[in-house]
Chain A
Amino acid sequence: MRRIIRGQVALVLGAGLAIATGCSDQLPTLTDSDRIPSGIKPVTIEYFLDAADFLVSGLSVRGNTDISNTNFAIVAENFDGALSAHVVTKFEVPPDSHSSSLLPSGTFQWLEATLRTTVVDSLTSDPAMVFSLWVVDEDFNSSVTWENAINDSVPAVPWSQPGGPTTRLVGTTDWVRKEPEDTTSTRNDLVWYVNTSILQDFAERDVQPGFMITAGDGTQTRLGSISLSYLVQPLPETEADTMMTYSLAQVFRRTIISEPAPPLPANAWSVGGISSDQTLLRFKLPLELPGCATGSCPSIPVSAVSLNRVDLLLEPFPVANGFRPVGPLPITVRLRYSPDLGAQAALGRIVSGLAAPAEGFATGTGKEHDFIITAAVANALSTRDTDFGLALTIEPDASQLSYAWYSRTPRLRFVYTLRQSPELP
């Protein structure tokens, strides 16, 4: 009996070892190019559907946002001969003392101030640009617009000149797009040296310093965060002898633009922009697909193929009034539930997305944009649901100045593989 138990223990250990070792199995795999007989090789077909064959309806709807709802900083000057955009900002009042124990009022001297921002070089219209920094002496608040310095009072207080006063130039700075191999963190910095007397003056008047950034003619770009710092030094009679750097907190920052949002185009669909446009599409999906790539052959049920890829192809359309993108535009595609409800149909989950290249929106001759919607279409067809709705948006709302406009001639591309029946030899 004892021997039997020993034997069982040995067997259990052996089996455990064997199973554990076997867990690293590798499937014998051949990778040469002629092992699958040509007669049973999968056949893939690319098939295009024109708008007339699947498009039920398409419309663009305008959101209820405008430039006052945006949070980006964009500067442009006469871009595309139409659009100008300035960035205005206010900082907190410079203090007249920095530490009651170290540098009380009157015990320090201003040395140097700098205003910094960065150029988002992927969202820039030109590889070389000039930027100007202006001091804004006129009072303005966060309701600022292109025409009015204060827009939320009755009556509104207009600027002395639309777009903000350009009377006190702090300086101009050049920016040239750096080579990609330049990975330094400051490669896209814009720096202006601000005369400290300006800050000192604001401090003495107890007024929040206001600045405005403008761009060179014909350009547009997005800027990063803006900061204002300065250096002070204790006066000789104080015990402290170290120079100290301080930063002023930003009170607000606004982009003001010379043009309202462009009207919805008559011949194109619109997506994004400051008005958060959405394009709502409704398709009738096919339940049958061609059974061969060329020539005539019977159609086959879509359930009988392996759907590899489905693309919505949209051709970019020129965007008017300088609102075209200058860099990739992040477009989101969502499902629409019950698309027969039209604009009231609820938006569903995200099914695709694309960083839409900017090129086609300038002249309209760019190649089609390719939105991959394979999973959503396959899911719909698996339940034989041919009523299919999509919404093109840019999220979150009002996160982009620019619009994506597309011709109303969409195409659907189906890439599918005919099913083969595996056989035993």
Chain B
Amino acid sequence: MRRSLEVVGMVVMLGLAVSSPREVEGQSLLSTRGLGYPLQPMDARSMALGRITLGLPGAELSWANPASAVGIPAPGIVFGYQYDNYSADIADGVHDGHTARFPILLAAIPAGERLVFQVGLAPYLDQNWRILEQDTLHLTPDTVPILDWNQSNGGVNRLRFAVGGAVSRNVNLGLSLDMYTGSVSRILGRTFPGEVQPACCLAQWDYQGLSTTLGAHWSPTSDTGVGVSLGFGGTLTADPRDSVTMRHKVDMPLTLQTGASGRIAANVLALAGASWEGWSSLSEAMAGQGGARDTWSASAGIEWDGVSIRKTPLPFRAGYRAGTLPFSWSEDGSDFPNERAFTLGTGLRLAGGAVLPNFSLEIGNRTGGDFKESYWRFGASVRVMGQ
């Protein structure tokens, strides 16, 4: 009981850190499109394995599959950090940027050996971006430089409550209920010389809505795993904070994810994963921005733990991921971007396995028509388990 309280304390502490007032900035120019850039909550181990989050052997704290945490021996929490650096080469030049964010905060508390409860918070849609257009205005007798602004700050987050249970010795099922949270503010205006930003035209919305995820995890042996999850996106509602601005509702996509792992040698774990998301359900709503399409991704990863330091294994991980992104770069819908990345990583095992720090590096690019963006992403996460 006392340990459970300590874990809850950690959750509160990290929750405060995550919800600090500083806005999390965008990590790609693609955040300017559609509903923003979709984020995948995961720890650095999954990042290093080509973003495979389902089907890992044993009990894992995974956002993608609420069933995978069944079997953890004690309360645990995983907290992630990512640092992004991107460089986009588009028609008007090269744009560089970087940002840091917290992709996942997920805690699990077992109730006996066959049931686990989970609570978590994670960003979902990154809507941080700004468009600036320079122009001039003739004001007799001078020509005055002006700057048109269209800026968005905020995004959609998900607050998760989940439960998982064992239905047989090797099969677990899970169900999560995600509440959409977060907010976005948009500024649309024009600045004249001497003005820092437009003095008017701010609108703010608060996001709300519910989504559910069903997950299943099968561990035929202690070294293998198969996971699958089905997410129902529900309806995302953006409620304006004033009485003038319009309310918005969009149907969020159906999501299907799967992954599997197996030991192919004494010290080598191989993994594969795939996902499909039905973003085309938003195509009509996004028609003014070139529409939306269904997306898929395929990943493969490998983990080698043949090296030990003081009898503690030091795993090395590598992976590759290819996938598509949902929103068109161009207004006419001809430039839907794809994303490819190689991943690397390692981890430590501290305090007899109670503390598991992991680190990852992802190097990739996003391309589609005239859009070219290269990026690298450093990830760090730590999983802490009670004893």
Q: Which residues of A contact B (CB under 8 A)?
A: 1, 3-4, 6-8, 10-12, 14-15, 17-19, 21-37, 40-42, 44, 46, 306-309, 367, 413, 415, 417, 419-425
Contact = CB atoms under 8 A, between A and B. Distances in A.
A247 B305 CA distance: 90
B288 interface: yes
A425 B34 contact: yes
B59 interface: no
Interface residues of B, number: 89
Given A10-B357, A28-B129, A308-B192, 7 more contacts: A25-B99, A30-B130, A36-B148, A306-B198, A308-B195, A421-B244, A422-B245
Given A11-B79, A28-B95, A32-B90, A22 B24 contact: yes
Given A22-B99, A33-B133, A36-B150, A15 B203 contact: no
B221 to A, nearest CB: 28
A41 B368 CA distance: 27
B98 A24 contact: yes
B100 A11 contact: no
Contacts of A40: 150, 188
Nearest to B101: A22
B350 A10 contact: yes
Interface string B303-346: 00000000000000000000000000000000000000000000
Interface in B1-35: 3, 6-7, 9-10, 13-14, 17, 20, 22-29, 31-32, 34-35
A40 B187 CA distance: 12
Contact of A6 (B20, B95, B351): B351
A32 B92 contact: yes
Nearest to B240: A424
A419 B100 contact: no
24 contacts: A3-B351, A3-B387, A8-B10, A11-B14, A14-B357, A19-B20, A22-B101, A23-B22, A26-B25, A26-B97, A27-B26, A28-B31, A28-B97, A28-B129, A32-B91, A32-B92, A32-B133, A40-B150, A41-B148, A42-B190, A417-B200, A421-B246, A422-B150, A423-B203
B188 to A, nearest CB: 4
Contacts of A29: 95, 97, 129-132
Contacts of A12: 13
A423 B3 CA distance: 48
Interface stretch (B255-263, B266-274, B378-386): B378-386
A307 B189 CA distance: 11
Contacts of B24: 22, 25
A425 B35 contact: yes
A111 B146 CA distance: 64
A14 B386 CA distance: 18
A18 B148 CA distance: 33
Contacts of B355: 3, 6-7, 10
Contact of A42 (B81, B153, B188): B188
Contacts of B133: 31-36
A420 to B, nearest CB: 5
A271 B101 CA distance: 60
A33 B28 CA distance: 19
A308 B194 CA distance: 10
Nearest to A2: B351
A22 B354 contact: no
Nearest to A37: B288
A387 B348 CA distance: 73
Interface in B178-222: 184, 186-190, 192, 195, 198-203, 205
Given A7-B355, A10-B350, A29-B132, A42 B10 contact: no
Contacts of A41: 148
B248 interface: yes
A278 B374 CA distance: 64
Contacts of A10: 350, 355, 357, 382, 384
B279 interface: no
Interface stretch (B64-72, B110-118, B134-142): B134-142
Contacts of B62: none
A415 B153 CA distance: 28
A420 B189 contact: yes
Contacts of A36: 131, 133, 148, 150
Nearest to A12: B13
Interface in B73-113: 79, 81, 83, 86, 90-93, 95-102
B285 interface: yes
B289 interface: yes
B228 interface: no
Contacts of B146: 44
A248 B210 CA distance: 90
A130 B378 CA distance: 75
Contacts of A23: 22
B289 to A, nearest CB: 5
Nearest to A24: B98
A28 B386 contact: no
- The 4 A-B residue pairs with the shortest CB-CB distance in the complex, in nearest-first order: A22-B100, A32-B92, A25-B25, A7-B384
B119 interface: no
A19 to B, nearest CB: 6
B226 interface: no
A355 to B, nearest CB: 16
B351 A7 contact: yes
Given A19-B17, A422-B203, A27 B132 contact: no
Contact of A28 (B9, B128, B188, B244): B128
A8 B384 contact: yes
Contacts of B13: 8, 11-12, 15
Max count, chain A CB within 10 A of own CB: residue among B35, B81, B90: B81
Contact of B386 (A4, A17, A32, A415): A4
Interface in B28-51: 28-29, 31-32, 34-35
Given A4-B386, A27-B130, A417-B190, A306 B99 contact: no
A133 to B, nearest CB: 44
A1 B187 CA distance: 50
B139 A415 contact: yes
B131 A30 contact: yes
Contacts of A421: 188, 201, 203, 244-246
B53 to A, nearest CB: 20
Contacts of B238: 424
A23 B83 CA distance: 11
A15 B380 CA distance: 10
Contacts of A419: 189, 200-201
B52 interface: no
B93 A31 contact: yes
A22 B85 CA distance: 11
B382 A14 contact: yes
A28 B25 contact: yes
A6 B285 CA distance: 49
Contacts of A21: 83, 100
Contacts of B83: 21-22
Contacts of B25: 25-28
Contacts of B141: 367
A244 to B, nearest CB: 55
